[in-house]
Amino acid sequence: EDQVTQSPEALRLQEGESSSLNCSYTVSGLRGLFWYRQDPGKGPEFLFTLYSAGEEKEKERLKATLTKKESFLHITAPKPEDSATYLCAVQAHSGNTGKLIFGQGTTLQVKP
């Protein structure tokens, strides 16, 4: 069964304190791994797509990496506006190729 597990569930950081969020996955053939950001009361906002092990993508203070079993979202020198829930999702090659399977998310709070 395809599955996504994110850790930790919640993370509190001081402004400027770098850290990483983990997304472990089990999927029958990875088509793509997606990172989204979700602010309270809003829909998920797309951040990155990763397709193969070793791939990395960056956007401002965020960097996403991918291995065959997990992905990391590295946050460098975070600011309070980075506070949000970060969602990881996988899309499999087999079956319904449109379906995204989401993890439960990591809620990040960055204090000034």
Partner 1 sequence: DAGVIQSPRHEVTEMGQEVTLRCKPISGHNSLFWYRQTMMRGLELLIYFNNNVPIDDSGMPEDRFSAKMPNASFSTLKIQPSEPRDSAVYFCASQGHGETQYFGPGTRLLVL
Say which residues have a Cβ less than 8 Å from residue 43's Cβ, sequence separation at least 6: none
Give me the least distance between CB of 24 and partner 1, in Å please.
15
Q: What's the CA gap between 35 and 39, in Å, rounded?
A: 14
Question: How many chain residues interact with partner 1 (CB under 8 A)?
Answer: 22
Considering beta carbons, is residue 40 or 112 the nearer one to partner 1?
Answer: 40
Binds partner 1 (CB under 8 A): choice among 25, 34, 35, 86: 34
Q: What's the CA gap between 54 and 68, in Å, rounded?
A: 9
In the beta sheet, which residues pair with residue 48? 35
46-65 binders of partner 1 (CB under 8 A): 46, 49
42 forms part of the interface with partner 1 (CB under 8 A): yes
Binds partner 1 (CB under 8 A): choice among 15, 45, 56, 81: 45
Nearest to 75 by CA among 59, 88, 90, 54: 59
